[in-house]
Amino acid sequence: MTGAQAIVKCLIKEGVDTVFGYPGGTILPLYDALYGSPVRHVLTVHEQGAAHAADGYARASGQAGVCIATSGPGATNLVTGLAAAFMDSVPVVAITGQVQTSLIGRDAFQEIDITGITMPITKHNFLVKDISKLTDTLRRAFSIARSGRPGPVLVDIPRDIQANTHDFSDLETEYSRQSLVRQSPDLPALISKAAAAVSAAERPVIIAGGGCINASAGQALAKFSEQCALPVVTTLMGIGALPGRHPNLLGMTGLHGLKQANHAVHAADVLIVTGSRFNDRVTGDRARYAAGKTIIHIDIDPAEVHKNVDAAVPLVGEMNGILTALTREVVPGDLSAWWATIRDWQAACQLPVSEDELSAAGVMAALNTQLAGEDVIYVTDVGQHQMWAAQDLKVNSQRGFLTSGGLGAMGFGLPAALGAQMARPDKRVIHIVGDGSLKMTGCELYTVAAERLPIISIVINNQSLGMVRQLQHCFFEKRYSASLLPAPMDFTAFAGAFGIPAAVANTPDEFSQILKTAWERQGPSLLVANIATQDLVIPMIAPGGAMDSYVDI
State the pLDDT at residue 178. 59
What's the pLDDT score for residue 183?
80
Q: CB–CB of 404/431 below 8 Å?
A: no
Question: What is the three-class DSSP state of 105?
Answer: coil
What percentage of the chain exceeds 90 in pLDDT? 93
Q: What is the mean pLDDT of residues 18-47?
A: 98
Tell me how long the chain is: 553
pLDDT of 177 = 62
What would the pLDDT profile of 416-451 be if each residue is shown by its tens digit? 999 999 999 999 999 999 999 999 999 999 999 999
Q: Which of 220-229, 473-482, 535-544 has the lowest mean pLDDT?
A: 535-544
Tell me, what's the pLDDT at 546?
A: 87
Interval 338-389: pLDDT, tens: 999 999 999 998 888 998 999 999 999 999 999 998 999 999 999 999 999 9
Query: Does 286 have pLDDT greater than 70?
Result: yes
**pLDDT surpasses 90 at 169:** no
Q: How many CA atoms lie within 13 A of 214 on its CB side?
A: 26
Task: Give the three-class secondary structure for 334.
Answer: coil
- Helix (H) or strand (E) run with residue 21 in it: strand 18-21
Q: Report whether pLDDT(522) > 80.
A: yes
Q: Identify the bridge partners of residue 456 per DSSP, sorted by sequence position.
A: 430, 525
Question: Which comes out higher in pLDDT, residue 121 or 176?
Answer: 121
Q: Are 150 and 91 in contact (CB under 8 A)?
A: yes
* Helices (H) then strands (E): counts for the chain: 24, 18
**pLDDT tens figures, 243-284:** 999 999 999 999 999 999 999 999 999 999 999 999 999 999
The pTM (predicted TM-score) of the whole model is 0.96
In this model, does residue 551 exceed pLDDT 80? yes
Residue 175 has pLDDT above 70, yes or no: no
Instruction: Round to whole Å and give the CA distance between 191 and 316.
Output: 10
Q: Is the pLDDT of residue 180 over 70?
A: no
Looking at the predicted structure, is the pLDDT value of residue 203 above 80? yes
Calculate the CA 27 to chain-centre distance: 28
Calculate ∠ Cα 351-352-356, nearest 5°. 145
Share of the chain above pLDDT 70, in %: 99
Q: How far apart are CA 53 and CA 68, in angstroms?
A: 11
